[in-house]
Amino acid sequence: MQMQLHEDAPRLVVPDRAEATARMKIDRAGWAVRSYARFDRAAVMRVTRAVAEAAHKAAQEYAEWAVRETGMGVVEHKRLKNELSAHPLVDFYENTDLVNPRVDTGRKMVEIPKPAGVVLALTPATNPVSTLYYKAILALLSRNAVIFSPHPLARACCAHAAARLEAAAVAAGAPAGLIQCIEEPSVPLVQALMASPKVQVILATGGGPMVRAAYSSGNPAIGVGPGNAPVYVDPTADQTLAAQRIVDSKAFDNSVLCTNESVLISLAENANRLERGLRAAGAHILSEPEVGKLRAWLFPHGHLNTAAVGKSAVWIAQQAGLRVVPSTRVLIAPVAQVGLDEPLTREKLCPVLAWATAETFERATGMAQMILRMTGAGHSAAIHCEDPQKAMDFAAALSVYRVVVNAPCSQGAAGFATHLAPSFMIGTGYFGRSSVGENIGPQHLVHWTRLAWNSDASVQMGDFGAVRAPFEGQAPAPRPAPAPAAAPLAEAGGMDRDMLRQLILQELRELTRGQS
């Protein structure tokens, strides 16, 4: 080893503490989930609700913190997203039972849910705390433990939020270690953790390389690819309403949701009407020279200037040397081409919207597909139209798994303005090199053990009415010292029989043998 006596660099190499500690977190999560996976549904819902309540209460605090720490997004919108990832998310799954076995006497089958175990969850800088809330709730609903690896740009707010949710879970009777967060996230560390045989599934949200790394880790992964949603406005749509929705969606949290509209496509025949609507809603339509300036600033050497991500339209205009009124919410850049030759039609994650015009509906659909061919396959698209046939044709032609109709796409595709599942993980399926094509929910973190009877009519299944369910209710928390256990009551059904038996045996032994 080279000695470095001349400077303050450490003279000894200290082993990577972050990695060692993170591996201990995985083991700890394993212990936590061993206990939590035996909770009954009432106890699971109680813990989840308690965590949702803690999340809800801190929504504003973490919205402010995330914006402060990352410099991205809008506090008010982040608060809303945080709130939506608390109680409304739990409400959505209120009737999705992932705890009790299902008995299907017709098919002579019993299905027992088995939680994945330890979930390694990556959270992005763009939606840090809302994603953390969302993944924590998913893990709790499915009786899993979760370890967060936040994007380094958002690590402080995530670590704090995770600790708060963990404390709420513990206060509601959950074992400690169910919700943990890596304090010092780094790319090598998360790659090492993703390959751990003690991680059962990775929930990867983040840049393309990180998602690919999750899939390459050798562990099961649910990763989602990038978005780049095309939005088509048909002449049959209410142009004013459509324009309003699009501008609202683009302005929402400064477009950091991957579901935000990226390229607007309209027909020549409704372009003027749409333009009036867009201006009225607060969009600034750029002139051709302005488009050139914006392109040069936003895509220097053809690559997205990440400084723009999550920034406001006014800030971006200033940086690009454009003059806009202070009330400008969205910058709209008319473009002649779409696809590889026009960088403005790529994913931008900021309130800049490219706008292309086509002569026919078929040509517009082709343009949308061209955009997705470049990036955003499997993700989202939107259509504003009153013609069901066109909506059908548009969706059938595109390589996406959700097409939002007459709604803002940012919120709509993420399940907040539609009846899609509320989600910060938009499954991009096979088009988008992902394993799941729908919005990710707690059901994706559970697999089922199926007891399947002989289908022959002569074989009877037996009565499952009185069969004991494979869980124990809430377990008592582990005790630090071997003090005599206080009689632990199973919340759901009084004292557990095994527990009672043990207590009696223990007492008998003490009576007969004295203290040992």
Q: Which residues does the annotation mark as catalytic? A: 258
Considering only 208, 494, 505, 507, the residue that binds other proteins (CB under 8 A) is: 505
- Beta carbons of 197 and 30 less than 8 angstroms apart: no
Residue 78 within binding range of other proteins, rule CB under 8 A:
no
Distance in Å, CB of 98 to other proteins, minimum: 21
What six digits make up the tokens of 334? 């008319």
User: Closest CB to other proteins among 459 and 500?
Assistant: 500
Cβ burial, residue 289 (10 Å; 0-12/13-18/19+): exposed
**Contact positions with other proteins (CB under 8 A) in 3-42:** 3, 11-15, 17, 20-21, 24-25, 27-28, 30-32, 34
Contact 264, 353 (CB under 8 A): yes
176 binds other proteins (CB under 8 A): yes
Using CB under 8 A as the binding criterion, the count of chain residues that bind other proteins stands at 36
Single out the residue of 289, 482, 486, 511 in contact with other proteins (rule: CB under 8 A): 482
Residue 511 touches other proteins, criterion: CB under 8 A? no
Question: Is position 480 an interface residue for other proteins (rule: CB under 8 A)?
Answer: yes
Contact 96, 144 (CB under 8 A): no
Q: Which is nearer to other proteins, 174 or 257 (CB)?
A: 174
According to the binding rule CB under 8 A, does residue 192 interact with other proteins? no
- Residue 57's CB is within 10 A of a number of other CB atoms, namely 13
Which CB atom, from 386 or from 498, has the smaller least distance to other proteins? 498
Tell me the window of 91-99, 125-133, 322-330, 508-516 that interacts with other proteins (CB under 8 A): 508-516
Do 165 and 139 form a contact (C-beta atoms < 8 A)? no
Q: How far is the CB of 498 from other proteins (least distance, A)?
A: 7
Complete edge-to-edge strand list for the sheet that includes strand 102-104? 102-104, 109-115, 446-452
DSSP letters for 237-292: S-HHHHHHHHHHHHHGGGG-STTSEEEEEEEGGGHHHHHHHHHHTTEEEPPHHHHH
The label of the residue with tokens 């000894």 reads 12
Q: Say which residue the tokens 């940012």 belong to.
A: 410
Interacting residue with other proteins among 150, 177, 225, 432 (CB under 8 A):
177
Q: Which is nearer to other proteins, 280 or 508 (CB)?
A: 508
For other proteins, the binding residue among 91, 386, 498, 507 (CB under 8 A) is: 498
Identify whether the C-beta of residue 114 lies closer than 8 Å to the C-beta of residue 450. no
Residues that bind other proteins (CB under 8 A): 1, 3, 11-15, 17, 20-21, 24-25, 27-28, 30-32, 34, 176-177, 198, 478-482, 485, 498, 501-502, 505-506, 509, 513, 515-516
